[in-house]
Amino acid sequence: MRTGVLPSNIYDRAVYKPVHKYNKDRGTVCETACASSYSSKPFYPVCVYAELSGLTENLSGEIEVYMLHFVGQCMEKNLRIPDSVIVGVTMPETFEEPMLRSFISFLTKVCGKWELGIKDVFVRTSAAVNRIQFVFTASYDISTEDISNTADISVTAKSNSYDGFDLVITGYAGAFGGRLLTERNLSSLSQRFSINYLDKARTVACGDRCDMLNILDVISTQAATDRPRIFSAGEGGIYAALWNLGESLGCGMNVYQKKIPVYQETIEICNHLDVDPYKLESAGCLVFAVSDGPEFCKALEQKGIDSSHIGCLTRDLKRVIINGGEERFLNLPDMDELYRKKDD
């Protein structure tokens, strides 16, 4: 296939028609009319770049990971779940149409889970890539002014003191990474674990639209000046999220490792594969800096959201992980364990 925009006949068959049908079934409209169209509706610039590990393997699971990243970052920056998504896709020059059809099929399934419309899809081919690459961009069916006002609420100046603020986590550290590792290493894992156990390990809950909306409901009941700072965990795991939180707020922290929620299945799989669950992909896991951790956890519990008060922020810039009687410093985030671990 030639480099650049897809031929219109391939684009119409593989992209426009299935996306148009998806939006029509939802009662929304796809604005994409051709490979090079652009939306004129306002959108807040929350973008997530992704590169799939393969052209056809694990597409649904990997797209779901990046969707969780995307929604988490929208909540972090904008305190909203987007109404729809704009998708930019770059395919290898050697791609075949069935690859694109598979990608669009899984994309619509994942968007369906989050009740997101697909506003636009741009597809190009390039000799510079050998894997599917794509970018999600948030789109909102509200005015630009509303978006800006909402964004301001979740941003607090770094110079403000967070000394004594509590750290709260929703979701489970390494859960999504554990799911992907289980899927990719079934052969070796099946020699140690039963099929039923592995099925449970690759289907543990990692957060969905209902969970995120309930979290937003809890946040909305608080005064604007007292709303928590949200940080979306993802690549690099919960340790990377905590490091980024400290960097963003200009503070240190004391974190009790045993209070960080981790599924037992994730721990077992990670131990067998020699993987650190705290440095493992944690899409769907959110970290909050709040003035009153216990009260925030109580409010989340009333909405059916699992959470844990794991420590506090400090004026001292040291970022300490406490595990029983041992203390160590949190290090600069390294490669995610997903990339370090060689699969079957």
Q: What does the block give as tokens for 154?
A: 């979740």
Please list, in sequence order, all residues whose beta carbon lies within 8 angstroms of the beta carbon of residue 95, skipping any fewer than 6 positions away: 1, 55, 125, 132
Reported as a single tens digit per residue, the pLDDT across 232-286 is: 998 899 999 999 999 999 999 999 999 999 999 999 999 999 999 999 999 999 9
Closest CA to 195 of 204, 184, 207, 187: 187
Q: Could you tell me which residues are beta bridge partners of residue 122?
A: 88
For the cut 90, the answer to whether the pLDDT of residue 303 exceeds it is yes
Alpha-carbon distance of 20 to 299, in angstroms, equals 40
Q: What does the block give as tokens for 43?
A: 């959108």
Closest CA to 48 of 65, 31, 23: 65
Q: What does the block give as tokens for 137?
A: 């961009």
Q: Is the dihedral angle over the CA atoms 240, 245, 247, 250 positive or is it negative?
A: negative
**Any idea what DSSP says for residue 65?**
H
Cα 92–94–95 angle (5° rounding)? Answer: 70
Q: How many residues does the chain have?
A: 344
For the cut 50, the answer to whether the pLDDT of residue 151 exceeds it is no
Q: Cα dist. 118→8, 55, 73, 211, 283 in Å?
A: 19, 22, 18, 22, 21
Distance of CA 8 to the CA centre of its chain: 32
Reported as a single tens digit per residue, the pLDDT across 32-89 is: 544 433 344 444 456 655 555 544 445 667 788 888 888 988 888 878 888 899 998 8
Answer whether 233's CB lies under 8 Å from 171's CB.
yes
Q: Cα dist. 51→25, 133, 149 in Å?
A: 29, 4, 32
| pTM of the full structure | 0.81
So what CATH class is 157-340? alpha beta
| Ranges of each domain in the chain | 4-151, 157-340
Q: What does the block give as tokens for 173?
A: 């550290």
So what CATH class is 4-151? alpha beta
Q: Could you tell me which residues are beta bridge partners of residue 126?
A: 92
Helix (H) or strand (E) holding 92: strand 84-92
Reported as a single tens digit per residue, the pLDDT across 182-214 is: 988 999 999 999 999 999 999 999 989 999 999
Q: Cα dist. 287→12, 33, 211, 253, 295 in Å?
A: 42, 40, 14, 13, 15
Alpha-carbon distance of 318 to 256, in angstroms, equals 14
Answer whether 177's CB lies under 8 Å from 69's CB.
no
**Any idea what DSSP says for residue 61?**
H
Q: Across residues 307-322, what is the average pLDDT?
A: 95
Alpha-carbon distance of 46 to 89, in angstroms, equals 16
Closest CA to 46 of 82, 100, 7, 99: 82
pLDDT of residue 47: 61
Please report how many Cα atoms fall inside a 13 Å half-sphere around the Cα of residue 299, on the Cβ side: 17
Q: Could you tell me which residues are beta bridge partners of residue 320?
A: 254, 329
Q: Which residue's structure tokens are 């998504």?
A: 85
